Structure 1
C-alpha cells in the first residue's frame, strides 16, 4: 500500500469479514472534547489571567459557530484550582457548547469588584475572538459555582468598569448559578461551618479585609439581591443549590430567587436534595439536562 499523507476521506476502510467479530456502527456525529489549556485572555497588574477551553468536535464537524459557556470556578475568592472541574466541564462541552473556564484575581490581591471585572473581560475576550474560537458572540451564557456563582450573577448586570477591550460588550443571554455565595447579608447565626463576616473570612477579604459584623452597608455592596430592582436589566437566571450545603447556606439562593421573581425577572430554582457544597449531584444526567434545557431556552 502506498505511503502518503492520506486524508480521512481518501483512506481505504478495512472491509474484510472476520468470523466472530462484532461490527460497531458509527454516525460521525459522536462528540469528543478538545482541551486547550491556559489560554491567556488578560493581564492585570502584571498578572496573566487564563481560560481553560473545552471545545466539542466531531468527525463530521459541528454546525458552527457554537454557543459558549463562560464558567467561573469557585474558590472562596482565593486563587482558583483551575483543573479540578475539567472532567465535569467536559461533560457540558459534550452537549455542544464551547466551555471557557475563567480565571480571576484572588481577593487578597484585588478586592471586590475585581473578580467581576475579570469575568466581564473574559466575556469580552470571547466575543472579540469569536471567529478564531468558533463561537457565536451573541450566544454566551455565564455560569459559576460557589464564589464563581457570585461572579456569574454580578457579571450579568453590574457596570463594573475596567474594560480591557474597549467597545466590546460583555452581555450574556443567561446565568447559571450553582450554589453561589451570592449574599453577605445574613449574620453567622444559621447553621454553617465557616465564618463569613470577620476581616479574615473569605467575604471579609473579598471586601478589602473589612470587619462586616457591624457594617450592613458593606454587606449590601457585595450582595447580588441588593442590586435587583424591577428596572434592572438582567437575563434569565437558573439557581441551583443543595439542601445540606455546609459552606453557603441554601437560604442565599432562595432569597435571590425570590427577589428576582418579586422584581418580575425570569428565574428558576432547583434544590438538590441532600447535596452539600458541590459534588457529583450537580453533574448527573438529570442536572446536565436541566442546564441544557435552560441554555437552549435562553438562546432561542
Structure 2
C-alpha cells in the first residue's frame, strides 16, 4: 500500500481559518433542538469511528495566501476504493463539514472512501467560490488517489441542502472537467429561477436572503448569476447520473422534477427517493439516515460499480 506520509504532511501546513462565528449554528445539536418537539422519534446520527475505518483529519486541499481549506477522509480497508466527496449545507453562509460524518462513516462501512470538505462560505467569498472550492477538492482527491487508495475513475459528489446544489453544480457546471461519475443531491435546489425557489430565496422581506447574500444581489439585480448557478442549466447527454433524495418540504428541491424530465430527454439516468413526513436536514438524524444511505448505496452500485 502506498505510504500515507505525503497526505499526512499536508495536514501540517500552517493554516489560518476564519474566527469562530457564533451565528453559525447549522449543526446537528442545534437542529435537533429545533426539531425534537415535532419529531420526538429522532436521534442525532452517530459520528463514532467504527472499527476498520481510518480517519485522516484536516488535510489541506487548497490554500489562498495563509487561508487553508481542509477536508477529512474516512477510509475502509482495501485498494482502489470508490469514493464519495460530501458537501455540507447551511444556506451557503453557514454549516460545517462534520455534518456529513455519520453518512460518510456508513458508506465507509460498505467499502466506500468518504471525504467531507469545507469550503468558503458567502460571508467570506461569494458565488462561485464555494463551487470552485469543491471542484478543487475533487481534483485534490484525484491527485492523491494513490496515497488514499482511491480509484480516481470512481469519484462521486454528494451534498445536502445548499451542499446538494453546490455538489450538483460542481459536478455539472463550468470547471467540472468530467471528473465526477455520479451525483447525489439531498434536498438541494436544482433551479434558482423556479417560482418555488424565488418565493423563498428572493423574498423581499429577507434583506438579504441566503441566496441573495451568496450572489451579491436579488434575482432582478443578478439574474444571470441566479440562472448560471442553477444545475438544471447544464443537463446534457453524457452528464453524470443523479440521485435526488428529498424531504417533505418541496421548497428545497425546487426544479428537481423539471431537471429529471430534461435528463430523461437527454438519455441520462436519474432516480429519486421522497421521504414522507420529514423536515429539512433529515439526513442528520436516525431513523432517516438509514434509508438515505440505502438509496445512495443502491444508486452508486448501479452507476459507479
CA distance in structure 2 between the aligned counterparts of 1:180 and 1:106, rounded to whole angstroms = 16
CA shift for structure 1 position 214? 6.4
Pairing partner for 2:74 from 34, 39, 54: 54
Alignment partner of 1:112 is 2:150: no
Q: Which residue of structure 2 lines up, in the alignment, with residue 99 of structure 1? A: 114
Residues 74 and 148, structure 1, Cα contact 8 Å, conserved in 2: yes
> Residue 42 of structure 1 corresponds to which residue in structure 2?
62
The structure 1 residue matched to 2:230, chosen from 217, 223, 226, is 223
State the partner residue of 2:272. Answer: 269
Report the RMSD for the aligned CA atoms in angstroms. 2.6
Alpha-carbon separation, structure 1, partners of 2:68 and 2:179: 23
- Does the CA-based 8 Å contact 2:157-2:167 persist in structure 1? yes
Q: Which moved more, 1:124-133 or 1:218-227?
A: 218-227
By relative contact order (CA 8 Å, sep 6+), the higher-ranking structure is 2
Alignment of 1:4-83 (within 5 A): 32-57=52-77, 62=78, 64-83=79-98
Contact 2:71–2:115 at 8 Å: present in 1 too?
yes
Displacement, 1:196?
5.3
1:200 pairs with 2:203: no
Q: Which structure's residues are more often helix, by fraction?
A: 2
- Residues paired across the two proteins, number: 253
Structure 2 residue runs without a partner (length 5+): 1-49
In structure 2, how many angstroms separate the alpha carbons of the residues matched to 1:229 and 1:203?
Answer: 25
Q: 1:206 to 1:191 in 2, by over 3 A?
A: closer
* Contact preservation (8 Å) 1:195, 1:201: yes
**Which structure has the greater CA radius of gyration?**
1
- Does the aligned pair in 2 maintain the 1:243–1:276 contact within 8 Å? yes
Which sections of structure 1, spanning at least 5 residues, go unmatched? 1-29, 162-168
Q: Relative to structure 1, is the Cα distance of residues 281 and 242 closer, same or farther in structure 2, using a 3 angstrom cutoff?
A: farther
Give TM-score, length-normalised by structure 2: 0.74
d(CA) in 2 for partners of 1:250 and 1:130?
Answer: 32
Go from structure 1 to structure 2 and tell me whether the alpha carbon gap of 1:170 and 1:266 turns closer, same or farther (over 3 Å shift).
Answer: closer
* CA shift in 2, pair 1:189/1:287, >3 Å: closer
TM-score relative to the length of structure 1: 0.75
